[in-house]
Amino acid sequence: MKTEIIAVNPQYPELNKIAYCARVVRQGGLVIFPTETVYGIAADYSNPKAIKRLKEVKKRSHDKPFSVLISQKGLIANYTSIVDPKLFKLIDAYWPGPLTVVVPLKEPGKTIGLRMPDHLIALKFAEECQCPVAAPSANEQGEKPATTCQEAIAALDGQVDVAIDGGPSKLGIGSSVVDLTQERPVLLREGSISQADIDKQVNKRIVLFVCTGNSCRSVMAEYTLKDYMKGRSEVEVFSAGTGVFFPTSASAETIAVLKEDGIDATRHLSRPLSSILLKKADLIFVMTRVHRQQVLERVPDVEKRVYLLREFVNIPSGFPGEIDIPDPIGKAHFEYKECLTVIKEAISKIKELI
């Protein structure tokens, strides 16, 4: 029986065709599909019969595991409990993209390779499968990976149920595979991402400031620290808000008080606080105790990395909010100035820790 070939537009994938192919996977079948690196073969990772058949098609030894495809960064939490910032620095930098990360499974003593491809068909397909998708390259073990559907069919026709033809792969080489089970991430297989690229990302020092709307306090803190850190490419500074739902600019008064210090924040757009952003940060500074609580409700494991920014300031008597920095939004210009003064004092001490 020949493999059924289904052409899918790589720019505008036909969802009915992808849904059909995903149903084949859910029913225990094998499907060839395109990614930006090479073509892969999909099978239901949780179906022992499908995995056994996949190993037979690949001629792969039974003790060599398959990596798993995921469609969103956040889904990594379904597989691993690791909270090391190095992992999240890498996936935030390279996903979607040609990087497979090997991480400890939640099941003790086991590991798994995970990848989020930079290919619209692959992402839609992985999402539609509604099951963990094993996804090795579409070739027999030891043979050259296929970069077109035609190459995959030439090697595997009749051995898989369906093949999605999404045109040639953009990169033409397999993903880089990095082992994150040790202290230093080590490249197990080099693709378009090198060990030097990996080291550069994981060695970055990432600082995050958090307030509510990401239009005043955290903006002042972010841009002030960035001004201090000019010329230090190994430090990245971000800010985000617990109550941001869509991007807006910084408040006019925030832009004005920063401008008085020679700092331009006119291009700032507010950013919603995300779990990935929290997990990749080495240092997290919040403006109030409520913000700290909100951060820990989202990601309890970052507790030892979260600090109240006001803790780094000598608190004058009578200052409202005690160790909180009150929100100046809607208040007079001088109150923004006072807020910035407090933040600058804290930043002057924080920069010595970075």
Mean pLDDT to the nearest integer, 246-261: 97
Per-residue pLDDT reduced to its tens digit, 181-227: 999 999 999 999 999 999 999 999 999 999 999 999 999 999 999 99
303-324 pLDDT tens trace = 999 999 999 987 655 555 578 9
Distance CA 115, CA 287 (A): 35
CA distances from 186 to 69, 106, 246, 268 (A): 21, 21, 38, 36
Mean pLDDT of 157-170: 98
- The mean pLDDT value for 178-182 works out to 96
pLDDT at 205: 96
Report the percentage of the chain scoring pLDDT > 90. Answer: 91
Helices (H), 101-213: 120-129, 149-156, 195-202
One fold for both 4-194 and 204-350?
no
The DSSP bridge pattern shows strands 111-115 and 99-104 to be: antiparallel
For the segment 51-70, what is each residue's pLDDT rounded down to a tens digit?
999 999 999 877 788 999 99
The CATH number of the domain covering residues in 204-350: 3.40.50.2300
Give me the chain's average pLDDT, please: 95
Q: Are strands 31-33 and 176-179 parallel, antiparallel or unpaired?
A: unpaired
Tens of pLDDT, residues 73-123: 999 999 999 999 999 999 999 999 999 999 999 988 899 999 999 999 999
**pLDDT of amino acid 141:** 87
pLDDT (tens digit per residue) in 278-302: 999 999 999 999 999 999 999 999 9
> Residue range 239-265: average pLDDT?
97
Average pLDDT over residues 257-278: 97
Q: Which residue has the tokens 């192919």?
A: 21
Helix, strand, coil distribution of the chain in percent, nearest 5: 35, 20, 45
Q: Which CATH number fits domain 4-194: 3.30.1370.100, 2.60.120.680, 3.90.870.10, 3.40.50.1360?
A: 3.90.870.10
> Helix or strand or coil: residue 112?
strand
What the block records as the tokens of 232 is 């230090």
Domain borders along the chain are 4-194, 204-350
